[in-house]
Amino acid sequence: MAGFTMELSDEQKEVRDWLHGFAADVIRPAAAEWDEREETPWPVIQEAAKVGIYSLDFYAQQYFDSTGLGIPMAMEELFWGDAGIALSIVGTGLAAVGVLANGTEEQIGTWIPQMYGDTNDVKLAAFCSSEPDAGSDVASMRTRAVYDEAKDEWVLNGTKTWATNGGIANVHVVVAVVDAELGSRGHASFIVPPDTPGLTQGQKFKKHGIRASHTAEVVLDNVRVPGSCLLGGKEKLDARLARAREKAKKSGAGVPRAGGRESVKNAAMATFEASRPAVGAMAVGTARAAYEVALEYAQTREQFGRPIIDNQGVAFQLADMRTSIDAARLLVWRASWMAVNGKPFTAAEGSMSKLFASETAKKVTAQAIQILGGNGYTREYPVERMHRDSAIYTIFEGTSEIQRLVIARTLAGMPIR
């Protein structure tokens, strides 16, 4: 077990500095253009693939970092560059985590490489869980997967929404209901291979922020996938469903209690649990970027014959901003360290990290605009874009309200639905 330390290793610092350089030299100069275009920044993704950032090997190295800090460190630096472009670069990772969390070794080896492609032929992947009527309420999911035993195929029908890379991805990971009576415990995840008939892109959303990241509906109309595309395999699914049915008979409601990794009983929750601190790290990166712009502006902008940072009204805001950013990072690091070392989230530490970092990003970016005054409200300065981008952190992968609910119910020893 890796001991907790506040100091990054020399190797981690080298990776951090390399990512920071890419974010500063490649991502930031392209940020405003792709935000305005509202399109996937393929040239930047290809450049990331060329240098090794958009690759299975890179994310595997960070994911399996024994300290747990590899992924949050990478997310913070990339999102410091720009949230929209960074999400386009890392969006495939959510689908990859879904396979890592639920798939067999064979499935991991087969499908994750196809999610990234190579430097000459870059691919994308999409994780599809949310639905028009089932966002935070995963138990209300309507997408169905029915097993055709004669053909050893699963037939998927339904509509997914808010899917990053949805419809344009090479590989889609889709969460569907296999037993409606079991609620969220009756869900399973499926790989939908490239060019599978019946999968189409629905509405592409025009968003308030993270506009360089493609977000769309995914429509599944009698989509047939081989039995081997059920993540984890049918034997494992049948055993899990049998246990869930037996528990439901004994306890009535039978919803599992939240906690560490061992308590996760459905595919979507396993994926979100693994990725939630990483979202907190994204928020820290955006907040830090806005803070740095505001700090530099306050040091150089003069009013009444002196820099505005000499005014307590500005200086105190910057002090609070930096304090909140550092606190958010520490919560993210703690949750990441706990996850990689198998420590149970007995106080919902993963949700704590995402909640606090998300709210910090919204507040800090708003404060940055205030410090820049009228300039901060224009697109001539990046804090306006950062503020728009920050709004997503309190919404996706569980709203702030859901995080508070998870934390409160965990503290009270109540079940999580």
236 contacts: CB under 8 Å, gap ≥ 6: none
Backbone angles phi and psi of 200, in degrees to 5 = -135, 160
Triad 183, 187, 190: Cα angle to 5° = 165
Alpha-carbon distance of 39 to 205, in angstroms, equals 11
225 contacts: CB under 8 Å, gap ≥ 6: 153, 154, 156, 190, 191, 192, 193, 196
Which residue is catalytic, options 38, 105, 397, 401?
397
Backbone angles phi and psi of 27, in degrees to 5 = -75, -50
Cβ–Cβ < 8 Å for 326, 357 = no
Q: How many angstroms separate the most distant Cα atoms in the chain?
A: 82
For the chain, what is the HEC assignment?
CCCCCCCCCHHHHHHHHHHHHHHHHHHHHHHHHHHHHCCCCHHHHHHHHHHCCCCHHHHHHHHCCCCCCHHHHHHHHHHHHCHHHHHHHHCHHHHHHHHHHHCCHHHHHHHHHHHHEECCEECCEEEECCECCECCCHHHCCCEEEEECCCCEEEEEEEEEEEECCCCCCEEEEEEECCHHHHHHHEEEEEECCCCCCEEEEEECCCCCCCCCCEEEEEEEEEEEEHHHECCCHHHHHHHHHHHHHHHHHHCCCCCCCCCHHHCCCHHHHHHHHHHHHHHHHHHHHHHHHHHHHHHHHHHCEECCEEHHHCHHHHHHHHHHHHHHHHHHHHHHHHHHHHHCCCCCCCCHHHHHHHHHHHHHHHHHHHHHHHHHHHHHCCCCCHHHHHHHHHHHHCCCCCHHHHHHHHHHHHCCCCCC
47 is catalytic: no
Catalytic residue set: 397
